[in-house]
Chain A
Amino acid sequence: MLIELKDVNKTYFGAQPLHVLKGINLGIERGEFVSIMGASGSGKSTLLNILGILDNYDSGEYRIDGKLIWDLTEAKAAEYRNKMIGFIFQSYNLIGFKTAVENVELPLFYQGVSRHKRHEMAMEYIERLGLKDWAGHYPNEMSGGQKQRVAIARALVTKPDIILADAPTGALDSKTSVEIMELLKELNERDKLTIIVVTHESGVANYTNKIIHIKDGVIGQIEENRAHDAMRFGSDGVLK
């Protein structure tokens, strides 16, 4: 089991304590292509943050590849994120004053990869995602789909165990959304990458092989979706 959550709880302590995750149990195998679906306020974002080691949990157990993720220092958490997780965000989160290829180089920079080697590796992924001619462009010179492909290249370049995609098509039009989901699907099938997509769009979820429903902080139904017919929008590939 690549990802293992056992009775994970998370409460936000504010004026009114908010019990967001109420004992999450979940297992994801290596090479799976799954989606976590839920409405806003369901706790899916919190779950994603915990999966991405961006946030900590109050009780329970979270293991990646058997390694317990608990009580990490900031530095250790950063190291784990860098090595094990590739992030794809809804708003791309590219650094504006860096070119496409420099953005892709960034995680390698934090791994201490040499300048030359870093550039070489980043270019390889930029090319794989069909952005060769855009390598030297800044994010504001690119379309949404191009930016998201840069972000995907950045997520892939460290060869992480897990790709975490947080509403990857949320800011894209339907045609580009299809392209991006097809790309993720292909990466899962061809490169056997473990991809977790968090979304509230059923069309996006329909691209994945397994749909995990989360509601009010608990895991609800888990659908096997090998046929990609779980959703009424599934058959014709229309996402929105």
Chain B
Amino acid sequence: MFDLFTEIWSTLRQNKLRTALTGFAVSWGIIIIIVLLGTGNGLMNALMNNAFDTVQNIIAVYPGSTSKPYNGIKEGTVLRFNDRDIAFSEQFSEKIDRAYGSLDFSDTLSLGKEALSSYIMGVDPQLKDVWRLNLVAGRFINKSDIKDKSKHIVIDDNAATQLLGDDKDYSKILGRHINMGDIPFKVIGIVEAEEQSWGHNSYIPYSTAKTMRTEGAWLSRITMEFHDLETKEANEEFEKGYKRAMNIFHGMDPEDTRTTYLSNYYLSNQEISKAVRIMRTALWILGLLTLLSGIVGVSNIMLITVKERIHEFGIRKALGAKPLSIMKLIVVESVVITAFFGYIGMVIGMVADFALDKTIGSHPMDMGIMQMYIFKNIGVGFDVAIEATLLLIVAGTIAGIIPAWKGARVRPIEALRAEK
């Protein structure tokens, strides 16, 4: 193998400019692939992040109002959720594992002179996992908090920093009492603020929230965890049945679809992963087509090289070179050119991805009411690097195979007679 590489090195050295130009085409193809896939990944990461950072099999139910009069109920009557609806939801289908209620409202949090407005959610302990909240200090609401209706609160890190008067060491706020309106709450935990957030989110026990909302204590939302709803059709069927049952339960028109709003995270995620797959495939195809022109270039150059070297191959054959060894010489040369320049392209492409990530990838777009990332974590994974390497070797072989065949096939007397 070493001998083969010395042979190839000596021929490549002969044609530095040509080798470099050919190599450039390949490098360019790979740069395009890596940058396309890298930014594509960034776009998809941002998309996923902006959409639903939650576990997948969740349906959230929000109350709506009737769209027409029915059986003595006026149009525009609001459907109100209470604890009976949680129990009802849990029993609606054996596909529902659990249902939780949430009671949300907005209020002002203050500590000393510092104050901020926050969205307060009265939640069950499980919602931490359902929403994939990232606890950075302390603990989340637990069962005894629910039982005791304790005045405990979990706030996000930004809120903590702000309440401490811009102190980055937000964990100092743990154990201190802050005021919600004029009621003191003890900070028991801090979660990481969501990146695309409309404001601050704070969490208190569901039971505590209920005591604070005296006017009927209606729920803001019921969250259901389900299983075994794999297809779009099954999900739609399930949702339709649920709405109907809920309407009947509340004495409303069974066919009224506006009394509840369902947000199915599973379906949304499925749609997004489908879109992501399509996009990824499209990017690969684009990249491959670009690379194709590079491969054709290499193949072309190899054909010229073989033509130029036909006399040399004649000498080699006369001296005992078998067709296979001539073929190997050309194919390996092609692979070496492709792989070497492809690798350079890969490195440049990854550097470009890195630069893009550090610029457009780390600055959210300001959309007025909220900030949003268009790109996030631009770059390709190790798997793509491996795939690209294999691709290059295959591409090099393909580029070399026809020229190699031509070189190997020529008869020694004809080759010896050829122009030098």
Contact = CB atoms under 8 A, between A and B. Distances in A.
Contacts of B411: 54-55
A95 B310 CA distance: 12
B322 A75 contact: yes
B315 A95 contact: yes
Contacts, number: 61
B282 interface: no
B2 interface: yes
Interface in B1-58: 2-3, 10-11, 13-14
B321 A110 contact: yes
Nearest to A89: B416
B323 A74 contact: yes
Interface string B294-326: 000000000000000001101111111111110
B355 interface: no
Interface residues of A, number: 26
B102 to A, nearest CB: 76
Contacts of B314: 93
Given A109-B3, A115-B3, A97 B319 contact: no
B73 interface: no
Contacts of A95: 312, 315-316
B413 interface: yes
B319 A75 contact: no
Nearest to A75: B322
B122 interface: no
Contacts of B2: 115
A168 interface: no
A41 B13 CA distance: 41
Contact of B320 (A55, A83, A115): A83
Interface residues of B, number: 24
B50 to A, nearest CB: 59
Contacts of A54: 318, 411-413, 416
B413 A55 contact: yes
Contacts of A158: 320
A52 interface: yes
Nearest to B311: A93
A13 to B, nearest CB: 15
B413 A78 contact: no
A89 B417 CA distance: 11
B413 A87 contact: no
A95 B11 CA distance: 11
B320 A82 contact: yes
B286 to A, nearest CB: 40
Interface in A78-131: 78-79, 81-83, 87, 89, 93-95, 97-98, 106-107, 109-111, 115
Contacts of B323: 74-75, 78
A52 B318 CA distance: 8
A17 to B, nearest CB: 18
Main secondary structure of the interface of A (DSSP, over half): helix
Contacts of A89: 416
B315 A78 contact: no
A112 B254 CA distance: 87
Contacts of A106: 316, 319
Contacts of A78: 317, 320-323
A81 B322 CA distance: 10
Contacts of A93: 311, 314-315, 318, 416
A154 interface: yes
A25 interface: no
A15 to B, nearest CB: 18
A176 interface: no
A49 interface: yes
A97 B318 contact: no
Contact of A87 (B11, B318, B321): B318
Contacts of B14: 97
B412 A110 contact: no
Contacts of A75: 322-324
A52 B411 CA distance: 13
B319 A81 contact: yes
A190 B11 CA distance: 39
Given A82-B319, A107-B319, A110-B319, A97 B324 contact: no
Contacts of A111: 320
B408 to A, nearest CB: 8
A106 B317 CA distance: 11
B329 to A, nearest CB: 11
Contacts of A55: 411, 413
Given A54-B413, A95-B312, A115-B3, A110 B318 contact: no
A180 to B, nearest CB: 19
Interface in B337-371: none
Nearest to B315: A93
Nearest to A82: B320
A81 B416 CA distance: 15
Contacts of B318: 52, 54, 81, 87, 93
Nearest to A78: B322
A75 B323 CA distance: 6
Closest 6 pairs between A and B when the two form their complex, measured CB to CB:
A82-B320, A110-B320, A75-B322, A78-B322, A107-B319, A93-B315
7 contacts: A54-B416, A95-B312, A95-B315, A97-B13, A106-B316, A107-B320, A109-B3
Given A93-B311, A109-B3, 9 more contacts: A52-B318, A54-B416, A55-B411, A75-B323, A81-B317, A93-B314, A97-B11, A107-B319, A115-B3
